[in-house]
Structure 1
Amino acid sequence: MSLKQSHKSYPQAFKDEAVLMVLDQGYSVADAAKSLGVGTSLLYKWKEKYEAQRQGIALEESERDELKRLRKENKELRMEKEIPKKGKRLLCERNEVRYRFIKKHSNQFPVALLCRVMCVSKSGYYDWLKRPANVISLDTLKLYRRVRRLFEKSRGSLGNREMMKKLRKEGYQVGRYAVRKMMRRLRLKVTQRQAYKVTTQRKHSDAVADNLLNMNFNPSAANQVWAGDVTYLKTGEGWMYLAVVMDLYSRRIVGWHIDKRMTTDLISKALMKAYNLRQPARGLVFHSDRGSQYTSKQFGKLLSNYGIRASMGDVGACWDNAVVERFFGSLKHDWIFKVAQPTREFMKQDVTTYMKYYNLERLHSANGDLSPVEFENSQLKVSSLA
C-alpha cells in the first residue's frame, strides 16, 4: 500500500453542509473540520468559495489574492489590538526589555506581528534568542556600570533598596531582587553602622527650654521647625566638631559649621548661616539637645534676636532629636569613615562635598524618595499651582 494518501473528492452537498456548520451553527473552522475529518485549510477554501458564490461574485485570480491579503491584514489588526497594552508602554525601553516581552507572548501572537508592534527587527529578536545566557548585552553592561558608579558616588552606602529607587528615578525598570543580584555580582557590600553613643553634656546652671516637639518631626511647611546638633569627627590631626541646622520639613541642611573646638561660637555660626540663607519669619522653633552650648546665655540671646523659640529634648535621649542623629549616622557611616586618618583640611572639604550630595542627591523616604532640595522645589511648584 502506498504511503502517499490519494486525493479525496467530496460531493458539493457535503462541502456546503460543512460550510454551513461554520456560518449558521456557530462552529469554528477548526472544530467543524475536526468533526468532519477534513483539513482546516480545505474547509477555509470551501467557505471562501461558498461566500463568493452566495454573493454572486465571480472572483478573478488577482481579486482572490487581494481578498486574502485584506483578510490577513484585518486578522493582524485584530490581533494587534489584543496585544497587552503594557507592550506599547515598553516602546521607550531598551531592546532587551522589548525582546523579553515578545518572547513571553510568542505563544499567543505571531513573532512577526509582535516585532512590528514593538518596533524591532525579527533578525534582531532571533539573534537575541540565540545569544548564550552568560553573554551580557550592551544595555545590561551599561546598567551594571551605572550601579557601580552610584555605589562609588555614595561611598558604598547605597543598599539594594536605595539603589533601586535611584535607578528607577533615572528611568531604569528594575526590581529590588534584580538590583541585589547585580550588586552581589559586582561584590558591592554595604558595611554595618556603629551604635549610637551619647555625647551631650550640659552645665546644670544653664537654662533649659521645654520640649515643644515631643518627637513630632514633620512640620507642614518649610521654616517652621529647625533642629540642630553637634558631632565629633576624628582626623589624623585630632578631633573636629561639626554643628548643623536642619529644616525638618524637607530634612535639608540649611546651615553648618566645622571647627577644631566645640564652642558656642561653633553652633552660633551654623545658626547664622541658616538664618542668612532662609530669612525665616519670627516664631520659628529651633530644637536641640541640652548640650552646654545650646543652653548657654550667648546662644539663647542669638535665638531671641532672631525671634526664634527654643525647644530641647532630654539628656541622652537620641530619639528626641532622632532626625539629626540619623543624619550624623549617614554622614559618618556612608561617607567619613571611608577615608582613613584624613587631615583637618581634607575633613572640611569632605564634609562640604557630602552636604552637597546629601541636599541634592540623597533620597529620603519621608520626602517621597526625593532629595531635600527636590522635595522643596516640588512643593513650591504645588504651591504656585494652588
Structure 2
Amino acid sequence: MIDRQSKLPISRQAELLDISRGSVYYLPKPVSEPDLDIMRRLDELHLKHPFMGARQLRDRLNLQGIPIGRKRVKTLMMKMGIEAVYCMPNTSKKTLGHEIYPYLLRGMTINRANQVWALDTTYIPLAKGFAYLTAVVDWATRKVLAAKVAITLEACHAVDVLEQAFKRYGRPD
C-alpha cells in the first residue's frame, strides 16, 4: 500500500490511506529468549493445571526458581492467548440478537466413514514461537483426512484444509 519509491511523501500517503504514520515505520520486536522460555513453562503449567490464573502460575514459576511478577505472567498469558478455565457467570443465558443454530447431530448414530467430519485447530509450541495445526477428522474412523501446519491462525487455512478433504474424499453425508 505504501510505495517508498514514490515522489509522494510517506506522511502524505499515510494520510490518504487514513492510517497512522507511525504504523508505517513500526517494526515488531521479536520475543526474547528468556520470555520464550517462560512462555514454554507457562504453557506446560497451563496444560497440567488449566484452572490456575496468573497468581498461581507466578507462584509455581517462583518455586521453579524463575523470579517473575503477577503482571508479567498476565501479560505473557494474554500474548499466548491462554486464560484460566473456571465457571463463568451467566454462560447459559441467551443474548438478544444472537442466532441459535440447531445441533444437527443430536440423536444421530455415527457408524460409518464419511458420515460426519470434524475440523479442529491446535497450536504446537516450537523453539521460537508457535505453529498451528488444522485438521479434518472423520468421526467414525478417526482418520485424519487432511491437515495443514501454518504459522498464523487465519480462517483461510481452515478453508484450505476443508477444500483439500473435499477433493480427496468428496463431501460427508
TM-score class, shorter: 0.3 to 0.5
Normalising by structure 1, what TM-score? 0.19
**Higher strand proportion:** 2
Radius of gyration: which is bigger? Answer: 1
Normalising by structure 2, what TM-score? 0.41
**Higher helix proportion:** 1
